[in-house]
Chain A
Amino acid sequence: AQSVTQLGSHVSVSEGALVLLRCNYSSSVPPYLFWYVQYPNQGLQLLLKYTTGATLVKGINGFEAEFKKSETSFHLTKPSAHMSDAAEYFCAVSDTTRDDKIIFGKGTRLHILP
């Protein structure tokens, strides 16, 4: 069975500071990994995904994430936070052997301090 753990339900960073949102996963098969962003009262939007190949994945809005198999991690980073980055972020994992569900973490709400 697959699972996702997001460390920290709330993270606060100052505008212009580094954003780091942590995600660890558990999977018995090679995973697909995703980060989604949700703004208030909206659906989820894909930020980036890892499927195969390069382990550093770049996404929209200046975000990137690195797949580290040895650490079973897929942390999301952005060098410089902007006020518009305030939102909830979800990490998710999927089974590469099945056309099926994806498992979401519980989410991390990112607060940007002026």
Chain B
Amino acid sequence: SQTIHQWPATLVQPVGSPLSLECTVEGTSNPNLYWYRQAAGRGLQLLFYSVGIGQISSEVPQNLSASRPQDRQFILSSKKLLLSDSGFYLCASTFPRGSYNEQFFGPGTRLTVL
């Protein structure tokens, strides 16, 4: 089975500072990878997804970016954080075939921008 690691677990950053959140996956190869954000009371918002190394699709235009430097590593970044970037960030993974698109989630990173 898949295991998804995210770090850090919590992060407090000032407005205008950079951001790097990391997600790594164990127990599978060539997964699809996803970044979601949950703002308070607003459900899940898909930010980025990736079907392979270096392949990133952006769902929402914003000051965030994503990269996939290795098959099982997915990074969420920002050059300058905004207050509105606060939220709970979740990384998810699927097997690309035969999995019915079932997603496995990491434990999340709580980001507070002050």
**A interface, CB within 8 angstroms of B:** 9, 32, 34, 36, 41-46, 49, 51, 90, 94-96, 98-102, 104-107
Assuming the A-B contacts A46-B102, A49-B100, are A101 and B46 also in contact, with contact meaning beta carbons closer than 8 angstroms in the complex?
yes
CB closest residue in chain B, given A95:
B101
CB closest residue in chain B, given A98:
B101
**B interface, CB within 8 angstroms of A:** 4, 32, 34, 41-44, 46, 49, 51, 88, 90, 92, 94, 96-97, 100-108, 110
Contact B106 A102 (CB under 8 A): no
CB closest residue in chain B, given A9:
B41
Contact A32 B101 (CB under 8 A): yes
Q: Contacting A94 at CB < 8 Å: which of B4, B101, B106, B107? A: B101
Contact A104 B43 (CB under 8 A): yes
Chain B residues whose C-beta falls within 8 Å of the C-beta of A104 in the assembled complex: 43-44
Contact B107 A42 (CB under 8 A): yes
Q: Contacting A41 at CB < 8 Å: which of B4, B92, B102, B108? A: B108
Q: Would you give the shortest CB distance from B34 to chain A, in whole angstroms?
A: 7
Closest 3 CB pairs of A and B: A43-B105, A106-B43, A94-B101
Distance between Cα atoms of A28 and B19 in the complex (Å): 39
Contact A99 B102 (CB under 8 A): no
Distance between Cα atoms of A46 and B102 in the complex (Å): 8
CB closest residue in chain B, given A32:
B100
Assuming the A-B contacts A43-B105, A44-B90, are A101 and B49 also in contact, with contact meaning beta carbons closer than 8 angstroms in the complex?
yes
Contact B105 A44 (CB under 8 A): yes
Assuming the A-B contacts A101-B46, A106-B43, are A49 and B102 also in contact, with contact meaning beta carbons closer than 8 angstroms in the complex?
yes
